[in-house]
Structure 1
Amino acid sequence: MATAVAVPVVIVLLVLIRVLGPGSSDDDAAADVSGATPTQRDESPVEVETPPITPEADAACPALMSQLPLELAGSTSRRVDSDSPYAHAWGDPAQVLICGADAPAGFVVGGPQLIQVNGVQWFVDTTDPTVNVWTAVDRTVPVEISVPASQDGSIPTLLSPVIAGAIPYAEPQPR
């Protein structure tokens, strides 16, 4: 009888540790689900060039920005210095997200640089040896994540469900 009760309790605890991460507090969990705009923890700002804000970005991006986590894949949020409120960064070296980004050069529907990750179709540009640029091309506005080439694609992978839930699907089309 004790084993029948202990096994489900252990499973629930393991799931909570996996979701919240080791060392998470109740305050961290509340911040993750509150829907509030994240406040950055790292004080060193990241300068980010952003395209002009479009009406489409103003319509779609606030929903995404309000759901971005303070910590992601072990990297903490950083302040961003840009002309747009639709930019966010994590870690050092910074991995930078821009909502309402420009369409990627070289994007071809069905091309070899497209990958589907957790409900989002990404165009991955690896032409710069220092950075890989992931652009979600199947949303009403492009979402770009620049990842240093020395790092893996865990941040775009982890953010795919957030992007899919926040920004409506649109048939991918070269722009």
Structure 2
Amino acid sequence: MTTRVMLISPAIGTALRAARFDDDAPLDEAAARGARAAAGALPRAGLAVTAPSTRCRQTAGALGLEDAEPVRELRDLEAGRWRGRSLEEVAAGEPEAVARWLTDPGSAPHGGESVVDLTARVGAWLDGGVADGARVLAVAEPAVVRAAVVHALALPPQTFWRLDVPPLTLTELTGRAGRWNLRCGRPLG
């Protein structure tokens, strides 16, 4: 039976605007307004879930998914000691570490999670945490959406950084564990 997992990237938050590693800041009013405007464009689903971050939970609420269940496996990439700092700041202080992190998907110089680990975590949820035949709507961080695509299409982990996931877009995966098809980047508004 075909499963449909519809991943919605959250509204843009202050961390993304500032190119800062997420610090779980709430949505500002402009971002919440954008999410509310997109609420009528959501596809049907039998189950709504969300990443546990404030930004994803607030986006889900603004989209009318107040009952979306937080799913720990959909949390953002753990940035360790870089959390809350801007990419520019980290790159100025640790240029070799940033270069390694952006080129070696198995690297985690920040002491957090590597891209490979993130992809494995999200892939395990995608292949085992979603019931066969389900229609799941999930509000998830852009890194989680990228990891899901990398896993679902068995792409090399190096492609993770080459996938763009704009705010408030829908990425659809249909199929089942081991055999997924992709429809990406449909705007919600």
State the TM-score, normalized to the length of structure 2. Answer: 0.27
Larger Rg: 1
Structure with the larger RCO, 1 or 2 (CA within 8 Å, 6+ apart): 2
Q: Which has the higher helix share?
A: 2
Q: Which has the higher strand share?
A: 1
